[in-house]
Chains A and B, each alone.
Chain A
Amino acid sequence: MSLAYAEPVALLEREHELGVLQTTITTAVAGEGSGVALSGDSGAGKSTLLAAATDDAGSARVLRGACDPLSTPRPLGPFRDVAPDLGLGRLHLDEGAPLAVVCEEVFEALRTEPTVLVVEDLHWVDAASAEVLRFLARRLDGVPVALLVSYRPHETDAGHVARPLLGDFARLDGLTTLELGPLSVVSVADLVTGTPLDAASVHALTGGNPFFVTEVAKDPDRPLPASVRDAVLARAADVSPDDFEVLQLVATAPDRLDDRVLPALGVDLPTLRRLDTTGLLTRTRGGLAFRHELARQAVESTIPPGGGASLHARLLEALETIDLPEPAVLTHHALAAHDAARTTRYAQAAAAEAIRAASHSEAAAFFQIALDQLAEDAPDAERARLLQSLSFEQYMVSRLDEAIANIRATFPLWERVGDVAGLADAHQTCATYEYYNARRHEAEAQADAAADIAGSAGATLSYGAARAARGFMAYMRSDTDLALACVEEVDRTAGTLPGPLALKNEMVRDLSDLVRGQEDARGRIADLIDNARSHRWDELASTGYSQLVNLDVEHRRLRSAEHVLEASLPFTVDREIPICRHWQTGVRARLRFFQGRWNAAAEDAERVLDEKGMPIARVWPHLVSALVPLRTGTPASLPHLDHAWALAGRIDEPLRVLPVLSALAERMWMSGETDRRVTEDGVRELERLTGAPGSEWAVGELGSWLLRLGLVEKLPAPVAEPYRLAGEGRYDEAAARWHALGEPFAEAMTLGDAPDPGPRVRGVELLDRLGAIGTADRRRIELRNDGVAQVPQRPRASTRANPSGLTNRQLDVAKLVARGFTNAEIASRLFISPKTADHHVSAVLTKLGLPNRRAVVLRADELGLS
């Protein structure tokens, strides 16, 4: 592909960037993959630079994929471009393979030989491609692949689908971001040398944008054009009206004008040859395109008002004559041609394709288009089904408010067509979304409405599903009596249940047993999860994992929780069940928090909050984000506690309310500022919720904080064993129990509660070792106030080993080191290069303050790495 402007000119002031790109390619070809993201405004020279860098890629194959400015992008667009060169045919997305399979396929195909993969214009990328690119970017290490991407910074703001990927480029080893700034006046002067143009005024006019400058310099004899639009159009000044219309057609096709539509459009070869003299067009990726997006926009701007629609209609008809046109492209043109019927039809096909590619945000956008364009007199059932599909896709991308509004909009439609089962199921779907949106009361009302509607119409299956949902919510709020009553009712009234419903009902029964303390239910739940997985009832399996691991953490079976997460998180990520992924990541944040692994906990919490996880999944992340800074002595973030408190009020479940109150109490104890939520709600709720099924740990924790604050005189009963022991004054035994459970912060707090100076000093030392300097300082003050002589000195940050500082990745590495694995073995297990493994091991040793890996093995138990 040739370029719009002469390379030596456009590459002014880009020597450094070119060097970085060339080095990236050279090292990648040598087997050490890496990536560069080029950031620059339109016309900054990103494409030129990438072309120059890949020109001498040596023996490496160069693959180019592009993202297109469709209003809703083609799912996996850039990967469709490169699929044939990778020998992947049309990718398995057409067969409905999960995105994870596509990721693996692309990765495996790329690594077979030295490859430079260029993906331009990420500001237009689709969600699925962004995921695949992220997958690749994290695995470049040790494979012969250079990943080069480009984007416009001003069009990729927070919340843009490319943001996580661009974040990876900014953060991860082996990935770099380069910014292409404007040219200086000196370089502009170079470009206009020999012309009568004044460098300073050209610089001012063009803002130093290389494309603008070159366009202006190309035709110096004309008066200085007022804008680049004029500069571009000047090059087409001698083109006949018919030929100019072809330019407008190409400008109307935002990606490229597919070569195969040229016959239908009546564009012959002599026309193309004439247009070639303008230098505006290029042949690329099986189509005709403008050499530069700015040039396309300039030509597009000449289309008179109303003229666009007929151009789009011509393109649409031409596209319909070729084999396998892409529905996303057809939708774009149908919409612009004001052809409502075709738009609705193609948008639904495009949505189906997006779903197969797991691009749920695009799927939602297409369903929205289909709905907007649906004829007013379309059948109610058709409208209801579209709304339902839209609602589900919005739920898949955590847009719960819209999902709820749309599922509610189906209620009157189902009523009008008299579809009782449809209406009941819609209410039940609404119940689920409301629950994830942390509006439990509304969720229960919707589930009850579903049961009423289905029950009165004798729709037994819908009735059973509604009651099972109600049972699940009862279990969540520790109302195990109601939960089990629902389970029995479903068994009794719904007759022979379909497999998934029977399994869900059984799961609610076993979870209720587990929350009541029957630990043998764990095994039954694990069996149900396996059963669900073997039937590919992914959401059920994932829900089982989510609940099991949450109860394991709540009841301090921390090792079991670790094992569940090792199996469940990869599964949930792979099957793309957003609610469960965020929930489980939040639970892992809480687990790491209990283990005193502050960094890893904060990392998980931040991730859920950053990704706008659904409200129900945000409680633990908010608590962790508030308490980690408080304990480690960095400025605490108060809004997190307020958010958690607001959520707890809406969810109103004992096992959520109690921990949030504990967090508020902990902050009050640390800061000394009276908080009425603690002094009033805390004391009242402690009394009210004591004895609720499964609440022994949460009650013990809140009770302990209120006791420290002097707001209660003794711990209530029943509480879990370590709390009970401490309540009986057996602090050493209680601390030993916490130690055995793997919760060092609770161990240290228990020691600190003892009356004797000995354990109290040991408690402070343990807090210091944990990096809980904030809490330790608070305890130091108490000790000094009580006249204890030997108060441990505050450790200097630089001299302390800090096992709590390990990130999740370093934790994975540390565990393998503790098991005696070599760097090569660690590398192969974690799919990273030996060099990177080596790098991680060094970081782990530094953070642990240990001289060598042998020391890690010896102290694995003590460090909680076994």
Chain B
Amino acid sequence: MRRYIIEREVPGAGNLSQEELANIAQISNEAVASLGVPYTWVNSFVAGDKIYCVHEAEDAETILEHARRGGFPANLVTEVASEFGPHTAGVLAG
């Protein structure tokens, strides 16, 4: 499976309550379950008027299908090329 970053424009997203987020999560889970193909919702970050999600699927089309079924916007879908962090600096030392 490939990993994707999805940018969703949701005006006022930062003000969503825990209950609202729970509701969205439930809709999203149902959409994932309905796809009938491998799909993993890794996690999501709410920031200002946007929500950034990390999902795994076979292709971007499936990411869009999930968004349609959930009624979510998917303004930008980008495949993750690689991941790194502080530990990555260790590669040089090696």
Using a CB–CB cutoff of 8 Å, the interface residues on chain A facing chain B are 259-260, 262-263, 266-272, 283, 286, 322-323
Task: Kindly provide the distance from the CB of B7 to the nearest chain A CB, expressed in whole angstroms.
Answer: 17
What CA separation (Å) do A323 and B71 show in the bound complex? 9
Contact between A266 and B68 (Cβ–Cβ < 8 Å)? no
Given A269-B65, A286-B68, A322-B71, CB of A263 within 8 Å of CB of B37 = no
Residues of B within 8 A of A269 (CB): 35-37, 62, 65
**B30: Cβ under 8 A from any A Cβ:** yes
Query: In the complex, what residue of chain B is closest to A271 when comparing beta carbons?
Result: B36
Q: What are 14 A-B contacts defined by CB distance under 8 Å? A: A259-B69, A260-B69, A262-B34, A263-B30, A263-B31, A263-B34, A268-B36, A268-B37, A269-B37, A269-B62, A270-B36, A270-B37, A272-B65, A286-B68
What CA separation (Å) do A659 and B65 show in the bound complex? 70
Q: How many residues of B contact A (CB 8 A)?
A: 13
**B16: Cβ under 8 A from any A Cβ:** no
- In the A-B complex, the 7 residue pairs with the smallest Cβ-Cβ separation, listed nearest first, are A268-B36, A263-B34, A259-B68, A260-B71, A269-B35, A263-B30, A269-B37
What string of 1s and 0s marks CB contacts (under 8 Å) between B16-43 and chain A?
0000000000000011011111000000
Contact between A268 and B68 (Cβ–Cβ < 8 Å)? no
Query: In the complex, what residue of chain B is closest to A288 when comparing beta carbons?
Result: B68
Residues of B within 8 A of A286 (CB): 68, 71
What CA separation (Å) do A260 and B31 show in the bound complex? 8
Residues of A within 8 A of B65 (CB): 269, 272
Task: Kindly provide the distance from the CB of B71 to the nearest chain A CB, expressed in whole angstroms.
Answer: 5
Query: In the complex, what residue of chain A is closest to B11 when comparing beta carbons?
Result: A89
Residues of A within 8 A of B31 (CB): 263
Query: In the complex, what residue of chain B is closest to A262 when comparing beta carbons?
Result: B69
What CA separation (Å) do A283 and B69 show in the bound complex? 12
Task: Kindly provide the distance from the CB of B63 to the nearest chain A CB, expressed in whole angstroms.
Answer: 11
What CA separation (Å) do A259 and B74 show in the bound complex? 14
Task: Kindly provide the distance from the CB of A618 to the nearest chain B CB, expressed in whole angstroms.
Answer: 50
Instruction: State the majority secondary structure of interface residues on B.
Output: helix
What CA separation (Å) do A157 and B62 show in the bound complex? 45
Chain B positions 28-74 with a Cβ under 8 Å from a chain A Cβ: 30-31, 33-37, 62, 65, 68-71
Q: A263-B69, A268-B35, A270-B36 are in contact. List 10 more A-B contacts (CB 8 A).
A: A259-B68, A259-B71, A260-B71, A262-B68, A262-B69, A263-B33, A268-B34, A268-B37, A286-B71, A322-B71
Task: Kindly provide the distance from the CB of B25 to the nearest chain A CB, expressed in whole angstroms.
Answer: 14
What CA separation (Å) do A269 and B31 show in the bound complex? 11
Query: In the complex, what residue of chain A is closest to B64 when comparing beta carbons?
Result: A283
Residues of A within 8 A of B34 (CB): 262-263, 266-268
What CA separation (Å) do A263 and B31 show in the bound complex? 6
Residues of B within 8 A of A283 (CB): 68
Task: Kindly provide the distance from the CB of B59 to the nearest chain A CB, expressed in whole angstroms.
Answer: 10
What CA separation (Å) do A283 and B70 show in the bound complex? 15
Task: Kindly provide the distance from the CB of A1 to the nearest chain B CB, expressed in whole angstroms.
Answer: 14
Query: In the complex, what residue of chain A is closest to B57 when comparing beta carbons?
Result: A269
Central interface residue in A268, A270, A271, A322, by most chain B CB within 10 Å: A268
Residues of A within 8 A of B68 (CB): 259-260, 262, 283, 286
Contact between B70 and A260 (Cβ–Cβ < 8 Å)? yes
What CA separation (Å) do A259 and B31 show in the bound complex? 10
Task: Kindly provide the distance from the CB of B6 to the nearest chain A CB, expressed in whole angstroms.
Answer: 16
Task: Kindly provide the distance from the CB of A373 to the nearest chain B CB, expressed in whole angstroms.
Answer: 29
Residues of B within 8 A of A270 (CB): 36-37
Residues of A within 8 A of B35 (CB): 268-269
What CA separation (Å) do A12 and B68 show in the bound complex? 36
What CA separation (Å) do A263 and B36 show in the bound complex? 10
What CA separation (Å) do A286 and B71 show in the bound complex? 8
Residues of B within 8 A of A260 (CB): 68-71
Central interface residue in B31, B34, B62, by most chain A CB within 10 Å: B34
Query: In the complex, what residue of chain B is closest to A323 when comparing beta carbons?
Result: B71
Task: Kindly provide the distance from the CB of B18 to the nearest chain A CB, expressed in whole angstroms.
Answer: 18
Central interface residue in B33, B70, B71, by most chain A CB within 10 Å: B71
Residues of A within 8 A of B33 (CB): 263
What CA separation (Å) do A267 and B33 show in the bound complex? 11
Task: Kindly provide the distance from the CB of A754 to the nearest chain B CB, expressed in whole angstroms.
Answer: 77
Query: In the complex, what residue of chain A is closest to B70 when comparing beta carbons?
Result: A260
Query: In the complex, what residue of chain A is closest to B68 when comparing beta carbons?
Result: A259
What CA separation (Å) do A271 and B65 show in the bound complex? 13
What CA separation (Å) do A262 and B66 show in the bound complex? 10
